[in-house]
Amino acid sequence: MLAMNYRGPYRVRADHKPDPVIEHPGDAIVRVTRACICGSDLHLYHGMVPDTRVGHTFGHEFIGEVVDIGNEVKNLKVGDRVLVPFNLFCGNCFFCKHELYGNCHNTNAQATAVGGIYGYSHTAGGYNGGQAEYVRVPMADVGPMVIPDDIHDDDAVLLTDVVPTGYQAAEMGDIKEGDTVVIFGAGPIGIMAAKSAWLMGAGRVIVVDEVEYRLEFVKRYAQCEVVNFREVNDMAEHIKKMTDWMGADVTIDCVGGDAAGSIAQTLTGRLMKAQAGSSIVLHWAINSVRKGGNVSIVGVYGPTFNAVPVGNVLNKGLTIRANQASVKRHLPRLIEHIRAGRLNPKEIITHRLPLEEVADAYHIFSSKLDECIKTVLIPPSAREVKTVKSSAQN
């Protein structure tokens, strides 16, 4: 099969790799029809995540068609059109029973914190991801969801991570009616967090980024205010000026360790790797929220140390909540929002490229070229099947 192949920082290519096979009676094999490049894939691409091994296939946002199942799989059948949450989970451990699917205790032998994640290094279990023609899906009776007939493929693929993560980012902020919410990052997650903040009753939503076309996009898509941090001398002071010197009620970090905005943080976190990525957005989030406010973190940081102003957290009486999204928990509500027209995820997709051009796709997304917001990769087998179906219909 054709699959994305990691060759080292800033080096990926499309290669032929062996087709995945059933390794456990609970496995399924899915023929991928859509796969996205996520902003957190760029942390891998930039060499920010430990134990990202040469030969690994990225991709934790994908949908497809079931082509094979193990003999213990009861909830899926060959031919089902499925979306696969980015996190692998068993459904039976303490954490899964509390719907903390991103913290499953049985899917990642490499760590005691995060559970398994498709295509996200051996730090997250070493599972190959969905930027490929086929992918093995363990515990297939638990994770995948059959896509309803009225949900478009482009919406479905964004339900594997982007929409649930943005929604949970807002949810963890415990937004009250009328709250001012500041979101750092105008990428796909930040865009969805902004939309979700309105759904949860926010009275004012402000998004911070440095890229003008992304700020224009989120301003139009999420009907929010925007701030370019390159035009601000002190972010905390600027947000306080915008909020009658109180600070925001809720701040949300949708950026993570690749954040720009501080020479010192870039040097120590991204270049020297003396800490687990640049933590400048954490500083902004903590320092610009009001006393007694809430800070929500979904931006990805590598293990395990970051220089963070924890004294300010204490002295301001802040509540911090952070986690990988529990995708499966959010799907019923998010599908309801899509059906009602309150969310239209597919509108954020700006680029559709064949899987063969994965190297160019990563370069475009990483370098923020061609006003790229969200990229979808289409494997050759998916295009061939679509052509055959179209011919049969004609």
* Tens digits of pLDDT across the chain (394 residues): 999 999 999 999 999 999 999 999 999 999 999 999 999 999 999 998 889 999 999 999 999 999 999 999 999 999 999 999 999 999 999 999 999 999 999 999 877 788 999 999 999 999 999 999 999 999 999 999 999 999 999 999 999 999 999 999 999 999 999 999 999 999 999 999 999 999 999 999 999 999 999 999 999 999 999 999 999 999 999 999 999 999 999 999 999 888 888 888 888 887 778 888 888 999 999 999 999 999 999 998 877 788 899 999 999 999 999 999 999 999 999 999 999 999 999 999 999 999 999 999 999 999 999 999 999 999 998 876 554 444 444 4
How many Å apart are CA 99 and CA 47, to the nearest integer?
31
Q: What is the CATH number of domain 2-161+326-393?
A: 3.90.180.10
Q: At what angle do helices 162-172 and 327-340 cross, to 10 degrees?
A: 100
User: Residue 262: which residues within 8 A CB-CB, separation 6 or more?
Assistant: 278, 280, 283
Listed in order, strand segments (DSSP E) in 85-237 are: 87-88, 116-117, 134-137, 145-146, 180-184, 204-209, 225-228
Tokens 């105008």 found at: 186
Burial (0-12, 13-18, 19+ Cβ within 10 Å), 21: exposed
Pair of tokens at residue 127 = 């599972």
Please, what's the largest Cα pairwise distance for the chain? 69
Instruction: Give the C-alpha separation, 244 to 281, whole Å.
Output: 22
Quote the CATH superfamily of domain 163-322: NAD(P)-binding Rossmann-like Domain (3.40.50.720)
CA–centroid distance for 225 within its chain: 23
- pTM, two decimal places: 0.94
Domain ranges of the chain: 2-161+326-393, 163-322
Q: Which long-range CB contacts under 8 A does 101-104 form with residues at least 24 apart?
A: 101/326, 101/327, 101/328, 101/329, 102/323, 102/324, 102/325, 102/326, 103/323, 103/324
